[in-house]
Amino acid sequence: MQKTIKSIIILILVFILGIFFLALNKNSNYDTEHLIGNKLLNIKLDSFENNKIISNEDLKENQFTLINFWASWCAPCRDEHPYLMELSNENNLNIIGVNFKDKKTYALKFLKSYGNPYDILAKDLKGKQSVSFGVYGIPESILIDNKFVIKKKFIGPINKNDLNDIKDIIK
């Protein structure tokens, strides 16, 4: 009986240590490379201005769409904003701004102060819709084509290099 108990305890310890070592070897970096080339299906975002739902049909107009997740309280969002303003001048690019866990009055004040680069404004008051896009923090942006294929995902604020990458992709 004692031999059986010792064997079970050793087996449990080996199992726990095995799980521990597997967890240590797991890559904990947030990687989105696997998303590139996949399609965004069933896009549903709440409109910022009214009760309309923004869907795939609203995104077919231009050759490319950049979906940008932002908030007025987000300091890095302020850093990327001039680049979004520059991208808003591109003819074959729509920019959708998804206001993330923000108050409407603050968001409108932000856009009035810094400019509005967005062709379409959406809101995600609880942050639940953003998770379906693979967004876990802001700012994040997703560049898709008119067939809803993800061309690139940007984690963190868009910078000069990202701006040039986007311009190269949408040429």
For the chain, which domains are there?
37-170 (3.40.30.10)
What is the value of pTM for the model shown?
0.80
Task: Judge whether residue 31 has pLDDT over 70.
Answer: no
CA distance 55 to 161: 30
> Nearest-CA neighbor of 154 among 170, 145, 166?
166
Active site residue 78: no
Active site residue 56: no
CA distance 142 to 68: 7
Task: Judge whether residue 149 has pLDDT over 90.
Answer: yes
Q: What is the mean pLDDT of residues 127-143?
A: 88
Q: By the 8 A CB rule, do 120 and 90 touch?
A: no
- Please write the tens of the pLDDT for every residue from 41-54: 888 899 998 889 88
- Please write the tens of the pLDDT for every residue from 36-84: 778 888 888 999 988 898 888 888 777 999 999 999 999 999 999 999 9
Which residue is catalytic, options 40, 59, 66, 74?
A: 74
Task: Judge whether residue 97 has pLDDT over 80.
Answer: yes
CA distance 98 to 134: 13
Which residue is catalytic, options 77, 111, 135, 138?
A: 77
Q: At what angle do helices 75-87 and 160-170 cross, to 10 degrees?
A: 30
Average pLDDT, the chain: 89
Residue 97 phi/psi, 5-degree rounding, is -100, 120
